[in-house]
Amino acid sequence: MNDQPLQDAQLRDLAQQLGVRAAERLDPEQTAQAVLRRLREPRQTPNTRWRPLWLSAAATVALLISGGLVWRSVRPAAPSSATAGQGLDLNDLSAEQLRDVLNAVEQPLDVDATGFLETGIDDLSPGELRTLLRALEG
């Protein structure tokens, strides 16, 4: 019933016989001469001189455009002056108003772990309320 060792031995003998036959057919002198002949032949380099110039230019343009698109999607957008000032022109403000704006900007924001502001109108200081009212009055 258990004829696996017999089959295994037969497979080994068969593999050895195949190896012996392959080694008998191999001529080392002829193989060495063929390798040397191949090494002595001049190498053929690809002829890049005939490649069309427009193909290189088109590939360069495609790389630049795709690189620009990737760069544009990855980098954060820079705030524009209109959105940074929320429509206010800082040149029209007086020195005191500019100081109020700077003081309001320099104060830290109360942000909870979720990233939301926990401040409301009740949490504003009197100076901040004045600044807010002036901004709303226009």
Q: Give the residue among 100, 93, 89 at the shortest CA–CA distance from 132.
A: 100
Tell me the C-alpha to C-alpha distance, in Å, between residue 107 and each of 50, 81, 104: 66, 21, 6
Given a cut of 80, is residue 78 above it in pLDDT? Answer: no
- Note whether 116 and 92 are within 8 A (CB): no
The pLDDT of residue 125: 81
First to last CA, the chain: 101
The pLDDT of residue 85: 46
Highest mean pLDDT, choosing among 12-21, 34-43, 89-98: 34-43
Q: What is the mean pLDDT of the chain?
A: 75
What percent of the chain is predicted at pLDDT more than 70?
Answer: 72
The pLDDT of residue 88: 62
Report pTM: 0.25
Mean pLDDT of 55-69: 87
Tell me the C-alpha to C-alpha distance, in Å, between residue 54 and each of 17, 50, 58, 62, 66: 60, 11, 6, 12, 18
